[in-house]
């Protein structure tokens, strides 16, 4: 079952309230996504820790409802 971009963004923002999330559908199927997440919560954290925060926000949906997510993270300028 595909997961819409709005639902992915909602989950991320619920966990990281100041997050700016940009979603791109990589295959046109609502099942393969690219997400770019910018949040001040990432300040001082490694990329691995930043990605872990986003995956935790998704609550275990990776590999199930959410088949594929190409993820990039950044701190605000």
Which residues, in sequence order, are bridge partners of residue 33? 25, 69
d(CA 37, CA 28): 20
Domains in the chain: ranges and CATH: 5-74 (3.30.300.90)
Locate 43 and state its tokens.
């300040």
Contact yes or no for 40/76 (Cβ under 8 A): yes
Sign of CA dihedral 41, 14, 60, 63: negative
Q: Which of 10, 1, 7, 57 is nearest to 29 (CA)?
A: 1
The pLDDT averaged over each successive group of 10 residues in the chain (77 residues) is 90 98 92 95 98 95 86 97
Query: What digits encode the pLDDT tens for the residues 3-21?
Result: 899 999 999 999 999 999 9
């Amino acid at each position: 079952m595909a997961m819409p971009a709005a639902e992915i963004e909602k989950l991320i923002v619920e966990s990281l309230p100041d997050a700016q999330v940009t979603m791109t559908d990589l295959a046109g199927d609502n099942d393969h996504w690219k997400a770019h997440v910018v949040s001040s919560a990432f300040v001082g954290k490694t990329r691995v820790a930043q990605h872990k925060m986003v995956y935790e926000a998704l609550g275990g949906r990776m590999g199930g409802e959410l088949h594929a997510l190409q993820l990039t993270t950044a701190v605000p300028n």
